[in-house]
Chains A and B, each alone.
Chain A
Amino acid sequence: MADSSSLMRTLRPWLGVLAKRRRRLWLGGGLMALTLLSALGLFAVSGWFITATGLTGLLFAAGVAATLDVYVPGGLIRLFAVTRTASRYLERLYNHDTVLRLLADLRTRLFAALAGQSSRVLAGRRASDWLNRLTADIDTLDSLYLRLLAPPAVALVAGALLSAFVAYFVPLAGAVLGAALLAGWLWFTLGQARLGMAASRRHVSELEALRGGVMETLQGLAELEAYATLAERQQRLERLEARLHESQRQLGRRVALGNALQVWLTGTAVAVTLWLAAGAFEAGSISGAVTVMLPMAVLAMNEAFGALPAAFTWLGATRGAAERLNELADPAPAAEPEPTKAPPSGELTLTLDDVGVRYPGALEPALDGLSLRLAPGERLAVEGASGSGKSTLTALLGRQLAPSEGSITLGDIALDAWPEEALRRRVAVLTQQTELLDDSLAANLRLANPEADNEALWQALDQVSLAAWAGALPQGLKTRVGEGGRRISGGQARRVALARLFLRDPALVVLDEPFAGVDRTTAQALGAALDAWLAGRSVVYLVHKAGGEVALPGIQQTISLVNGRPTRAATIHHGPEGSPQ
């Protein structure tokens, strides 16, 4: 079956992650089986005990001398009652622990995979809905074991043991039961999975389509109200919702069907086992107590099979999650190329030769035919409106992105041949978007230099005129900056990002809108500090407009980008503050 082999291919990497915890999984499954077998034992022994006592009681009443050991079965009943509870408790606790360990494994694995990706894959995926889906997908996979692996395995083992147990007393009953349970097991797992695959696989995308539609509608409420097309739009949303609900209805019906079949199969198995056991009793091959015990034991299969139909009807959801994560986690192996020669340690010249970038699916290239040469110590400004290709250029220079055309060299070595560690040490990039971790001020600064001592941090803060502010904070460097730096102002966040640069010692510095969100007076003070720190380093500024609100220090050349194409302003400036000669 091509479909099931592709399913296995999809799940394999994640089963591999699970396999690293093999011993825990076996133990957890064992506890699950123990719980089930205790329930089975409790039913079976109680049935045996009551029948045996009932029959013996009748003999007593008839005045016949009879003996019955009541202590062993009585003890067994109490034992099973206790082990059922205890093993269930332990199983839940232990397996929860396992699932949480798996969560840590999966997140770590996925993050490592994401970290090895080209930034283009991530760039379009900053949106919080994508990130939320990412965590939801991981959560779906971490319960793979608890919903889809352990329960069917335990049910299969319990079914086999039960059939063997029955067969020991009544071979025919054991064979019939075994066949019926196996057929049921196959249906509740594979059959239900097949029934629900299509609908459960598309469920997430239908949910996303609806959420996307709602989001667009809410964002565009002004235009929709103006053009009086809101009602039409709402009808569209209703259609999206109807599609989602149709899938849910279908899945719900199929789960209900599976549950109904499960109840029917187990019930029928009980009745048939009683019938066959009664035949054996009449033939004199088993006792009356055993005749009742066997069907009672079969009753416990309700517990083994109960959760299977729902879990497997929704298998497609797990598959979808795995597919999406595979897309992220299995990129073309971005093996670091062997450096042809050791990267130079001294000054670096940056050269771009006819560089172009075209994003897949984009209508026009993001960057087209850009050539430039930046000698050591030179400062270049690239100006352009939003969407003109500046951020693409930043990504190229930080090697977050590979050019689709042309070549980039740094210090006579192709940029993509630089060893990662050396490149990061020699090139510092300030991205347009300020990225701060939801952590302390110190931790955010130490991203740039984990070895920096407090004194160095204070000095860096002083360079961006934040030392006084940070000094007045009750928790000082330990102050948490909040999610995305939201607890501090945008201007302060920008300055923290700048301060990070000052903790490093790069040869090439790329600054994308360095003073974005910083007020004019502060920016002027920052300009002076920046100018001093930049001395002797090569600099690429990316700005909305060169010589705009706040002049950046020391610009010597300017290139304008319009829709990704350079129009060289080619003004060579000399002297401070970028004033033309």
Chain B
Amino acid sequence: MPALTATRLLTDLAATQRRRLALAAGCGLLEGALVVLQAGLFAWIASALLVDHRPLARMALPFALWLSTLPLRGLLGYARETLAQDASLAVRKRLRHRLLDHLARLGPVQVAGHHTASLAYQAVEQVEALDGYLARFRVQLVLAVAVPLLVLGITLYLDWLAAIFLLLAAPLIPLFMALVGMGAERLNREQFAAVSQLSGHFIDRVRSLTTLRLFGHTERATQSIHAAADGYRVRSMRTLRLAFLSSAVLEFFASVAIAVVAIYVGFGLLGYIGYGPADELTLFSGLFILLLAPEFFQPLRSLAQHYHDRAAALGAAERIAELLDQPVPATRRNDAPSPPPASEEDLLVLDAASVAHPGRGTVLGPVTTTVNRGDTIVITGASGSGKSTLLQLAAGFVAPEEDGACRRAPNLRFAWMDQRPLLVHGTLADNLRLADPEADDAALTRALESAHLGELLARLPQGLQTPVGERGAGLSGGQAQRLALARVFLSAAPLVLLDEPTASLDARSEQAIMSALEALKAAGRTLIIATHHPALIALASRRWQLDQGRLEEVPHG
């Protein structure tokens, strides 16, 4: 499969909204036609009035026609903008869905390999960054070709020499586009790099504000921020002088072409030009041509303005495409389930299962062992020996290599808890219901009590509706761990996987978690715990010792 490129991603995405985008372009083209019609009416009225001396009273009809095309043009513009916007919204929704879906299929372990904030940035801001390209640039690209052609055709019919003046500029159009495009793209790239460097400098100083203040250094830092921003300005102005030239060239040609056409038509009307069609010019055709000339360049000017949309979209699409290109391991896909274990008493069977990470080789296994219902197993071993990987394998977050297998009891549900429990922005109840959306308040309260959070709950005036998860407020680390534990109680899943549940906790939380785990054990749940903690090890009925990915069952209990 060829790698997904940014251009292809953008083209594919736009293709899903072909109809809306085509309709939008159609509206734009009709707008162009109306502009031509309005220019024609203007010229005709002026000519009828001034040349034919037709009384104003007899021109109500052309004026009425003119006035009636105006709202129509507005309406078409409205339709063009809304159609293109709807297309853009639909594409972004679709792409974000696809991206989040892909991340979910990659699974917790692969996702953890990325910086979460930057993934979120890609899924939110970078997807939004496609808006300008979809809602404006795509449509304008069509119009930038079609409308000048329309204008040119009519001018050609009116006066071929005037059309030639416009046409003389036409071969330059691709040149403009390239010039403007290259300018915009380079500018965009350089600006982006410089701006992010500058923002980096600022963010860096803000982040280190505590230290700067403790050393009484804020005055100097403020000066350095000003100096950096000003240095950036001086450097940036140097490149901008050139970069703005490219669009100035486009402006220049547009202005000069209008001026040349005006002067040509004027001298032609005076009869000073004895060559070609000039002596056939009338006030009507002359004015009409003059009014059309700016419309020949207008779509190109708009396109030049939207060019940075394209550059921004390409940049965003590149990183999104990279992410979408990451393959999902075969066994994490739904189409390749392993057969269940033979015995009903076996929850989980590992059969020569091993796990390898790209670049790091085999980190676990091959492991062959069975987990029976009701077991309480501790996994011990030095850090880096593969404890977490073994838990991830049991959970199905990582796939075993092809020569081994990890078989689960049919429809096996499991609960998971690690050192960084999930806290979502919402109430205590919202956070608990992550484990069971259907649970009622009584069940939530019971779960909190089982996790030794009943005392805290009793102290909260808003009870289960207390907001948590807000930055800087809410739960301590130990309380968050116990909240995750409450989810385990709430879920009633037969298999419970715990990764270092007591690491970096105060004694009270540690004690609470210990007794809660005992309660889980007594309730007949199957526990697998990766831990160093002696008291947890004592709790277990079996012990797996890991040494550099090799598992050895130590006689225990």
Contact = CB atoms under 8 A, between A and B. Distances in A.
Interface of A: 42-43, 46-47, 49-58, 60-61, 68, 70, 73-74, 77-78, 80-82, 84-85, 88-89, 92-93, 96-97, 100-101, 103-104, 107-108, 111-112, 114-115, 119, 122-129, 131-132, 134-135, 207, 209-230, 232-234, 237-238, 241, 245, 248-249, 252-253, 255-257, 259-261, 263-264, 267-268, 270-271, 274-275, 278-279, 281-282, 288, 291-292, 295, 359-364, 384-388, 398, 400, 420-421, 424-425, 428-429, 431, 433, 435-438, 447-448, 450, 483-484, 500, 562-563
Sort A-B residue pairs by CB-CB distance and give the 4 closest, nearest first: A220-B422, A124-B472, A104-B229, A260-B74
Contacts of B336: none
Contact of A245 (B75, B93, B203): B93
A47 B258 CA distance: 11
B255 A81 contact: yes
B413 A255 contact: no
A115 B209 contact: yes
19 contacts: A46-B259, A49-B266, A53-B267, A93-B240, A96-B237, A96-B240, A104-B225, A127-B471, A129-B117, A214-B119, A216-B425, A220-B421, A260-B74, A260-B78, A361-B470, A363-B459, A420-B216, A433-B210, A483-B204
A154 B36 CA distance: 28
Given A225-B395, A226-B395, A484-B204, A363 B46 contact: no
A212 B425 contact: yes
Given A58-B51, A226-B415, A237-B100, A563 B476 contact: yes
B199 A100 contact: no
A123 B473 CA distance: 11
B49 A249 contact: no
B82 A363 contact: no
The residue among B232, B424, B456 with the most chain A CB atoms within 10 A of its own CB is B424
Interface stretch (B282-290, B313-321, B365-373, B444-452): B282-290
B506 A388 contact: yes
B443 interface: no
B96 A70 contact: no
Contacts of A54: 50-51, 269, 281-283, 286-287
Q: Is the interface of A mostly helix, strand, loop or mixed?
A: helix
Main secondary structure of the interface of B (DSSP, over half): helix
B70 A111 contact: no
Contacts of B46: 51, 274, 291-292
A484 B259 CA distance: 58
Interface stretch (B103-111, B172-180, B375-383, B546-554): B103-111
Nearest to A421: B216
A99 to B, nearest CB: 9
A260 B395 CA distance: 57
A263 B74 contact: yes
B477 interface: yes
A447 B215 contact: yes
A125 B470 CA distance: 11
B81 interface: yes
Contacts of B460: 363
Contact of B211 (A43, A49, A230, A447): A447
B271 A70 contact: no
Contacts of A43: 294
B522 interface: no
Given A124-B472, A562-B507, A221 B215 contact: no
Given A56-B270, A57-B270, A252-B85, 19 more contacts: A42-B259, A50-B269, A50-B287, A54-B50, A77-B259, A96-B237, A119-B209, A122-B209, A207-B128, A218-B103, A226-B493, A255-B81, A259-B78, A260-B74, A267-B70, A271-B67, A387-B478, A424-B214, A563-B508
A278 B56 contact: yes
Given A57-B270, A271-B63, A563-B476, A50 B487 contact: no
B434 A229 contact: yes
B192 interface: no
B50 A78 contact: no
Contacts of A229: 434-437
A532 B205 CA distance: 32
B200 interface: yes
Interface residues of B, number: 149
Nearest to B491: A227
A51 B266 CA distance: 8
B160 interface: no
Interface in B384-430: 395-397, 413-418, 420-425
Nearest to B201: A438
B533 interface: no
B190 to A, nearest CB: 13
Contacts of B116: 215, 218-219
A437 B397 CA distance: 38
- The residue in A229, A271, A291 that gathers the most chain B C-beta atoms within 10 A of its C-beta is A271
Max count, chain B CB within 10 A of own CB: residue among A54, A56, A124, A219: A54
Contacts of B202: 107, 111, 135
A224 B422 contact: yes
B222 A291 contact: no
B205 A111 contact: yes
A328 B421 CA distance: 31
A50 B265 contact: yes
A226 B414 CA distance: 6
A80 B477 CA distance: 70
Contacts of A359: 472-473
A275 B56 contact: yes
Contacts of A267: 38, 70, 73
Given A263-B73, A291-B50, A438-B200, A387 B214 contact: no
Contacts of B123: 214
A80 B263 CA distance: 13
Contact of B244 (A60, A93, A212, A215): A93
Nearest to B272: A70
A281 B520 CA distance: 97
Contacts of B38: 267
A260 B79 CA distance: 10
Contacts of A223: 416-417, 421-422, 434-435, 484, 487
A517 B247 CA distance: 54
A218 B119 contact: yes
A268 B418 CA distance: 68
Given A46-B259, A256-B77, A288-B50, A233 B434 contact: yes
A127 B508 CA distance: 29
Residue picked from A222, A288, A563, most chain B C-beta under 10 Å: A222
A85 B255 contact: yes
Interface string B487-522: 100010100010000001111100000000000000
Nearest to B460: A363
B125 interface: yes
Given A214-B123, A219-B116, A107 B225 contact: yes
Contacts of A85: 248, 251-252, 255
Contacts of A92: 244, 247
A295 B248 CA distance: 27
